[in-house]
């Protein structure tokens, strides 16, 4: 039995050590391959015309983010408050900026935490404003858009909050420039 345990340890210890850099690197890759374009395309639908569109969201932006409020004002966004406009602008910018930060691995923990908040707010709006069914956990369905899929999104983002961006990132590069050499602890904190 001791030989079996020793063999198991010999095989999996290097894999565990590699996890210090593989796990956050793969989490960023997974985010980029699954969610980056999704969020950037979503943000593009919220921009108004031209450069001013960065500050004057499209009609669709208000409808996506505040569906009940838009319905209450007969879909006339000009009747919404400054608060609504600021939330729509901030949400649109967040859909561009936070994924970009995760992509390059800059301020990754903060960006991933912001994305978790974004996913939660997005899910609440989808359920309460757009009538999307939340679904159930521990059922036969594995493709419910809210509870099932977004749980995986949040888990991937939690990996980045906990483990950081990994060694293939600007966070790691800046930590080397400001803090010195590379060791195992650096890979965990990157």
Q: Give the pLDDT mean for 100-118.
A: 98
Cα–Cα dist 123/129, whole Å: 10
CA 149/CA 180 separation, integer angstroms? 40
User: What are the residue ranges spanned by the domains of the chain?
Assistant: 38-189
Q: Is the pLDDT score of 184 beyond 60? A: no
Q: How many CA atoms lie within 13 A of 91 on its CB side?
A: 25
Please report the pLDDT score of residue 190 as a whole number: 44
Q: How far is Cα 159 from Cα 175, in angstroms, rounded to an integer?
A: 19
Reading the block at residue 112, the tokens are 């991933």
Do 28 and 158 form a contact (C-beta atoms < 8 A)?
Answer: no
CA 93/CA 149 separation, integer angstroms: 23
Q: Check pLDDT > 50 for residue 2.
A: yes
Tokens describing residue 164? 């950081």
What tens digit of pLDDT does each residue of 42-95 get? 999 999 888 888 889 999 999 999 999 999 999 999 999 999 999 999 999 999
Q: What is the CA radius of gyration of the chain?
A: 21
Mean pLDDT, rounded, for 154-168: 96
* 19-50 residue pLDDT tens: 788 999 999 999 999 999 999 999 999 998 88
Mean pLDDT of 13-18: 83
Q: Provide the pLDDT confidence category of residue 9 given band limits of 50, 70 and 90.
A: confident
Residue in the block written with tokens 């210890």: 13
Angle at 28 between CA 22 and CA 31, to 5 degrees: 135
pLDDT on residue 189: 45
Whether the predicted model's global pTM rises above the 0.75 cut: yes
CB 76 within 8 Å of CB 121: no
Side-chain half-sphere exposure of 157, counting CA atoms within 13 A: 25
Query: Which DSSP helix (H) or strand (E) runs through 37?
Result: helix 37-44
Tokens of 159: 């990996």
Rounded Cα distance, 145 and 97, in Å: 24
Q: What is the mean pLDDT of residues 108-127?
A: 97
């Amino acid at each position: 039995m001791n030989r079996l345990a020793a063999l198991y340890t010999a095989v999996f210890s290097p894999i565990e050590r590699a996890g210090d850099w593989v796990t956050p690197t793969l989490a960023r890759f997974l985010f980029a391959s699954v969610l980056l374009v999704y969020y950037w395309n979503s943000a593009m639908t919220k921009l108004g015309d031209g450069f001013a569109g960065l500050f004057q969201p499209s009609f669709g932006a208000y409808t996506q983010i505040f569906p009940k409020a838009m319905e209450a004002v007969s879909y006339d966004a000009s009747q919404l408050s400054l608060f609504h406009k600021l939330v729509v602008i901030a949400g649109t910018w967040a859909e561009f900026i936070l994924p970009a930060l995760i992509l390059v691995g800059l301020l990754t923990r903060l960006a991933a935490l912001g994305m978790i908040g974004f996913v939660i707010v997005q899910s609440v709006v989808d359920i309460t404003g757009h009538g999307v069914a939340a679904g159930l956990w521990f059922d036969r369905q594995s493709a419910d858009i809210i509870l099932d899929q977004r749980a995986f999104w949040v888990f991937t983002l939690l990996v980045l909050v906990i483990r950081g961006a990994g060694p293939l990132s600007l966070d790691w590069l800046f930590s080397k420039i400001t803090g010195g050499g590379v060791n195992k602890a650096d890979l965990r904190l990157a």
